[in-house]
Amino acid sequence: MAMTASPTTLQSASRRSVNIALLGATGSIGKSTLEVIALHSDYRVFALTANQNVELMLAQCLRFSPRFAVMVDEGAAERLAHMLRLRHSATEVLAGPDALVTVASHPDVDTVMAAIVGAAGLPSALAAVEHSKKVLLANKEALVMAGDLFMGALAASNAVLLPIDSEHNAVFQCLPPGARDIGGDLRQQGVRRIVLTASGGPFREWPAEALHAVTPEQACKHPNWSMGRKISVDSASMMNKGLEVIEACFLFGVGPQFVDVLIHPQSIVHSMVEYADGSVLAQMGSPDMRIPIAHSLAWPERILSGAPYLDLTKQGNLQFFEPDLARFPCLRLGMEAARTGGTAPTILNAANEVAVESFLNGQSRFTDIPAIIAGTLEQMTCRKADSVDMIRQVDEQARALARRLIGTQ
């Protein structure tokens, strides 16, 4: 389809001011989102949320003047409120996890950036969907834990769901316009398979025996992306890609047999869609999260992201490899959980969060992470995930079991 509008026209297209609730403002996605918002006067920060990073939240509040600032930690909320009063800020401070749901479902909010890491982000992301917001989903765990319920809530609401993960955003961009209704059946649109790319992380070429001695600092030093510590470890273990396989199945209405993974060390091709006629469409761009953020904020328009433009003449060779599932057992575990379904992804996610936290705290080794996850999955019975309460219960049980397994190491 020919594009008749110029980039300048797209950037300056008139629209009313969009009120945004940014959940997880002090994380890497949150900070990148604010960088994009700062380039465009028609986006207003209505609410910012964080756990306990008072200093950064204070700076963000003073710059963007949100109506609400939420700190999950009540002590942090008290400190932030005191500091804002000293600076005569009109921002109202709310405290506790329930306040996340309050701002995500607020009637004045148009768009919710769901960027809280881990299971803690599920209630607020689900509330945003149930209240028919435009939801930019950076919290993959919401779908991993409660994919059936989440997509059911989406179908029952007027919400718009747009993926922020670079891989899923790339798939979304490569789909035909008629197939961009999240949750539809892509096979009816001629899609043969989805190919998610993965950098392979910092240990792609390390000897397998050396992984036993990996330190948290090494695991968090990603070769291409700037990310938080938890997701950096997930990338290093390739659990991140296992979670993304599960997420893709729910987002795009396909079984795990239709989702493949390729190692692509350069992180230039973010994902691909292969069609029945043999065509393969790929989305490329610099490895910068501001690109999918800007795409989703403005969709179906295009706006400046602030990210560097891609110069293929300077990229050298673009390489692609099959992943080594023996070397990266976390990816294998994620794929198996996708095939099992039910509460298996919930158990997988909970055990992984506990195992990664233990590794980052120096209580276990990098190579213990897949063993802890596998042990938790083996000792728990997978059931149909038919309610949020059940999912929470399974999540708590899996975390408790994973902690016991760590204690017996």
DSSP string, 49-107: EESS-HHHHHHHHHHH--SEEEESSHHHHHHHHHHHHHTT--PEEEESHHHHHHHHT-T
CATH number at residue 76: 3.40.50.720
* Cα distances (Å, whole numbers) of residue 273 to 136, 187, 229, 249, 270: 21, 11, 30, 14, 11
**End-of-domain residue from the set 140, 163, 186:** 163
173 Cβ partners below 8 Å, 6+ apart?
283, 295
Q: Does residue 306 fall inside a structural domain? A: no
Q: Does residue 68 fall inside a structural domain? A: yes
Q: Does residue 368 fall inside a structural domain? A: yes
CA distance 113 to 302: 17
Asked if residue 33 lies in contact with residue 50, where contact means CB atoms within 8 angstroms, the answer is no
Q: Does residue 329 fall inside a structural domain? A: no
Q: Please tell me the predicted confidence (pLDDT) of residue 179.
A: 64
**End-of-domain residue from the set 141, 163, 185:** 163
Give the distance, in angstroms, between the CA of residue 152 and the centroid of all CA atoms in the same chain: 19
CA distance 321 to 78: 51
**End-of-domain residue from the set 119, 138, 163:** 163
Q: Does residue 65 fall inside a structural domain? A: yes
CA distance 48 to 64: 9
82 Cβ partners below 8 Å, 6+ apart?
none
Q: Does residue 401 fall inside a structural domain? A: yes
- Domains identified in the chain, total number: 2
CATH number at residue 356: 1.10.1740.10
Q: 3-class DSSP state for residue 39?
A: coil
* Cα distances (Å, whole numbers) of residue 205 to 64, 90, 263, 360: 43, 52, 12, 22
Q: Please tell me the predicted confidence (pLDDT) of residue 6.
A: 35
Q: Please tell me the predicted confidence (pLDDT) of residue 184.
A: 61
pTM above 0.85, yes or no: yes
pLDDT less than 50: residues of the chain: 1-14
Q: Does residue 59 fall inside a structural domain? A: yes
Show the domain range for 363. Answer: 341-409
pLDDT digits (tens, 9 = 90+) for 288-301: 999 999 999 999 99
Q: Does residue 91 fall inside a structural domain? A: yes
327 beta partners: none
Q: Please tell me the predicted confidence (pLDDT) of residue 16.
A: 73
Specify the amino acid at residue 241: K
Secondary structure (H, E, C), 281-346: EEEECCCCCHHHHHHHHHCCCCCCCCCCCCCHHHCCCCCCECCCCCCCHHHHHHHHHHHHCCCHHH
Q: Please tell me the predicted confidence (pLDDT) of residue 143.
A: 92
Instruction: For the sheet with 134-137, list strands across it.
Output: 92-95, 68-71, 43-50, 18-23, 111-114, 134-137, 160-163
